Amino acid sequence: MNITCPKCETTFSLPDDLYKPGRKSRCSHCGNIFPMPPLADAPQNDEELPPPPTRAKKRAGFFSGKLFKAVCAFAAAVLLVLLGYGGFLIYGALVPGEVQQALTPANPESKPGDGSGGGPGTGRVEDERRIASISLEEIRQFMVENPAGRMMVIQGLAVNASESNKDYVAIEARLLDADNKTLDRAEQLCGAPLSLFQLQSLTVSELKEALNNRISIMTNNTNIPPGGKVPFVVVFPSPPRGTATFEVRVLDVRDSPPAQGG
């Protein structure tokens, strides 16, 4: 069921079982609180939630806070230990169906967040530079009927907006309630597109395995040229009740290693 905010005219989609005429709702775009309209006044349901293009900007304050910096520092320390085994060793440890937050570095000698190998204090800046070099486009959300139940799918394109080649773009998708609280989240390496037939017919475990297919990821998500586009798909097999909207952000990306001469 689609509901339109009477103040900013942003349209949101809610599951039919959560639609109650007169129930108070809060617009995640402008913050306006308004009652759900009577059934006769509600627009036809097209089962799509509006992508929130300004969500990342609104949350910029949180991602620049001390708590987020402390979490990044802890995560960098953990990744430093893991990456000691070598980039491809980490990638080889990916279990089908399991999304790893640590990405395969393009250069096995590199360390998490060190970019081109700069000194102390440059890691965070390099991480932000690389992440900012990827833009997300053509994002859409839809529901799919699968033998395992109704699934929510988010798909789009990760675009290399920099002037150098990139490797292993990863994204994070979050499902939010009407109060913008996170109900569920998923991390996914780009580069493993799925057809509608696969989404409708594969089991949950088969879908996870297809989304983490090493051949697809290494073929589509490495050595991405400037302007290159990489597809991504995120599947929520059991979207939580109360989901009102969603957001997608770039989680990580690596610089491609320089071409070997000779």
Tell me the C-alpha distance between 34 and 4, whole Å. 10
| Sheet strands side by side (includes 134-146) | 134-146, 149-160, 229-236
- If we measure between CA atoms, which residue out of 40, 48, 38 comes closest to residue 14? 48
Looking at the structure, do residues 29 and 66 belong to the same domain, yes or no?
A: no
Average pLDDT over residues 175-193: 95
Asked, for residue 122, whether it belongs to a domain, the answer is: yes
What is the reported pLDDT for 10? Answer: 79
Mean pLDDT of the chain: 76
Looking at the structure, do residues 145 and 248 belong to the same domain, yes or no?
A: yes
What is the reported pLDDT for 66? Answer: 65
- If we measure between CA atoms, which residue out of 25, 27, 26, 24 comes closest to residue 10? 27
Looking at the structure, do residues 149 and 250 belong to the same domain, yes or no?
A: yes
Asked, for residue 161, whether it belongs to a domain, the answer is: yes
Is 99 or 12 the better-scoring residue by pLDDT?
A: 12
Query: Of 35-49, 168-182, 200-214, which range is least confident?
Result: 35-49
Asked, for residue 46, whether it belongs to a domain, the answer is: no
Asked, for residue 21, whether it belongs to a domain, the answer is: yes
Looking at the structure, do residues 20 and 130 belong to the same domain, yes or no?
A: no
Average pLDDT over residues 25-53: 65
Residue 255 has pLDDT above 90, yes or no: yes
What is the reported pLDDT for 1? Answer: 66
Query: How many separate domains does the chain show?
Result: 2
Instruction: Please answer whether residues 243 and 15 qualify as being in contact, where contact means their C-beta atoms are separated by less than 8 angstroms.
Output: yes
What is the reported pLDDT for 67? Answer: 66
Looking at the structure, do residues 82 and 27 belong to the same domain, yes or no?
A: no
Looking at the structure, do residues 6 and 109 belong to the same domain, yes or no?
A: no
* pLDDT interval class at 174 (50, 70, 90): very high
Tell me the C-alpha distance between 71 and 94, whole Å. 23
68-100 pLDDT per residue, tens: 677 777 777 666 656 554 443 333 333 333 333
What is this structure's pTM?
A: 0.53
124-170 pLDDT per residue, tens: 788 888 899 999 999 999 999 999 999 999 999 999 999 999 999 99
What is the reported pLDDT for 107? Answer: 35
Question: Can you give the residue range of the structural domain that contains 26?
Answer: 2-35
What is the reported pLDDT for 147? Answer: 93
